Structure 1
């Protein structure tokens, strides 16, 4: 059968008339007939015949209203081997009612088209993409970065979605301060352990409790981390809150897992998480948390500068720590230029000596154990 004989002579004549001088209603009716013809026999057509339908569909939809294109998208979206060019045209339509049926279902959209769509189109387009049966890490990277909370939750809840290392890192960041996203991410069966620990360290106490009871299989890691932290908290000095010590212990778990670095400290500081930042600095400077905390709450910024130099932080991180402390304590904003000059002139060896003095001073001033 030739491509032309796929369309009956009468339908071809009607198509030519509709394209030449037909009104919208006539074009819509012709589109319906061509769609019926394709859908009813799609598995029988060769690539050459599908290309003919592609050309016909493209000509018909150029001047049609959104409702007609929506009907076409709903018919062609689930059809395997649908004409690829018209599928792409529908997917990139600004009307989400037109784009969604093909973005969510069509196997004729290749990865490059999905990536381009996710980078340039609306949140509605991203939400439709997030529901596809299979999503690669390259696509989910963009959904997690550009998508709003609904898009992120839909993507995370899609068990056919794969996530790259970068994608999981960004998910943990998006979960910070958002209990719904945090819960969704932690409940993914495939989440790597180090990302789960990172998420637990950042999560609120209510999220930790929810995760520990939501899924028995997943809860093993969560329960272990929380139980270890809670046990230590109950045996720690009474002057520190249990929640603060739990935060410290969870950060230590990140450190033991090899996933604690300057970038994590920066994130804690930017998100005003003092307990987590303090514990992270203590780990990276190899000192007790109590020593770090004493230096962090000094009236001047000298303690922060000393700790940061020992940990070899960049100025960006140091400034974020200073800003965090000042924001939480209500202190006036300090002279950034002076602090930076002091920090740049400070030698690591000098910082180490001062830190040793602080450790010795705190050790001699601490009361003996009962």
Structure 2
């Protein structure tokens, strides 16, 4: 540190009583000195730089701190206190590089930051080469859609059992997340089947297309197991009485959204499916299969296609879940938002696709 003091006369005075401009200039010069010789400094030298820079760097401009953070993020012996200070800044251009890759930011600090900071910080740390279960638990609990997708696609991330349960639940409303989770090598066979049982056939087949060859056999097995289960479920349902009821309503001119809503609220599954089939032009077997999973997407797609209101969609979701299951308020709100954003043209294409599959 004698070198630093010789380069910057009066350094002690600047640190103690200097104005912000002088402190910023001193910080710039000392940081440059550290970066130049970081590879050769012993730990005691790094500690000396750390003590001085931690007091000076806050007086530099945002752009200067962001540049310094970027350069420090790849240095294994970067000043620990300074890195921790920068990684906790609210400005993501400063904290981001360190949260993404700095080996100096330890696990405890990462978890602390994940609990306190916003989505930009969570997104940055979700890109780290390694993520522990403790950290991903926090990321999944607080992260938005983009954060969770990024973490799920990170091959260096580890997830706890509750973490995977959260991923699978959130994937029920997010096809992109389903594809990311389904490609993970550490996903067990039972978790894979649970994931795919909550998605529609077109997404399952897309996952099969994009997965690595070594993962495809497990996906095929899960799809076969789900198909066999769906066939057994369909064989236990008798839609004939429901079809007669719906046909009578149709002839009387009373087959409409109000009638469908009444069937759904009364938990009359067969009548609801038969009514929705008649209104959409899809086969009963197709709708029954689409509604047997854990995803809300098919109901929202068909509902958007025939012009249903959210109240009817909500009733159909509750019908599919059964009288003894209540969805989390956050899940239902997510479904409502997704339904409002769903474009009629997109719904038209999907229903057309299902009709084509029926004909084939």
TM category, shorter: 0.5 to 0.7
Per the TM alignment, residue 137 of structure 1 is displaced from its structure 2 partner at its CA by 0.9
Distance 1:52 1:249, change over 3 A: closer
Distance 1:11 1:114, change over 3 A: same
Contact 1:140 1:161 in 2 (8 A): yes
For 1:165 and 1:148, how far apart are their aligned partners in 2? 20
Which entry has the higher C-alpha Rg, 1 or 2?
1
Contact 1:141 1:164 in 2 (8 A): yes
TM-score (norm 2): 0.65
Q: 2:285 aligns with which of 220, 232, 241?
A: 241
For 1:54 and 1:249, how far apart are their aligned partners in 2? 56
1:57 match: 53
Q: 2:326 aligns with which of 298, 320, 327?
A: 320
Cα offsets for 1:267-316 (capped at 9, x unmatched): xx9992644x45xxxxxxxxxxxxxxxxxxxxxxxxx5xxxxxxxxxxxx
Structure 2 residues without counterparts, runs of 5 or longer: 240-283, 296-313, 330-360
Cα offsets for 1:1-30 (capped at 9, x unmatched): xxx33x344224253454356555543332
Q: Report the secondary structure of 1:272's partner residue.
A: helix
Structure 1 residues without counterparts, runs of 5 or longer: 252-268, 279-303, 305-317, 324-370
1:311 match: none
For 1:202 and 1:113, how far apart are their aligned partners in 2? 36
- 2:143 matches 1:99: no
Q: 2:169 aligns with which of 158, 169, 173?
A: 173
Per the TM alignment, residue 126 of structure 1 is displaced from its structure 2 partner at its CA by 0.5
For 2:172 and 2:293, how far apart are their aligned partners in 1? 18
Distance 1:270 1:76, change over 3 A: farther
Q: 1:225 aligns with which of 218, 222, 231?
A: 222
1:333 match: none
Structure 1 residue ranges, 4+ long, deviating more than 6 angstroms after superposition: none
Q: Greater relative contact order (Cα 8 A, min sep 6): structure 1 or 2?
A: 2
Distance 1:270 1:189, change over 3 A: farther
Cα offsets for 1:303-347 (capped at 9, x unmatched): x5xxxxxxxxxxxxx3738x9xxxxxxxxxxxxxxxxxxxxxxxx
Per the TM alignment, residue 111 of structure 1 is displaced from its structure 2 partner at its CA by 0.6
TM-align CA RMSD: 3.1
TM-score (norm 1): 0.63
For 1:199 and 1:274, how far apart are their aligned partners in 2? 21
Cα offsets for 1:109-153 (capped at 9, x unmatched): 111100000000010000111111111111111111111111111
2:77 match: 81
1:198 match: 194
For 2:47 and 2:120, how far apart are their aligned partners in 1? 29
For 1:44 and 1:270, how far apart are their aligned partners in 2? 68
| Aligned pairs for 1:1-370 within 5 A | 4-5=1-2, 7-13=3-9, 15-16=11-12, 18-19=14-15, 24-215=20-211, 216-230=213-227, 239=239, 240-242=284-286, 244-245=288-289, 248=292, 272=317, 274-275=319-320, 277=321, 318=324, 320=326
Distance 1:271 1:164, change over 3 A: farther
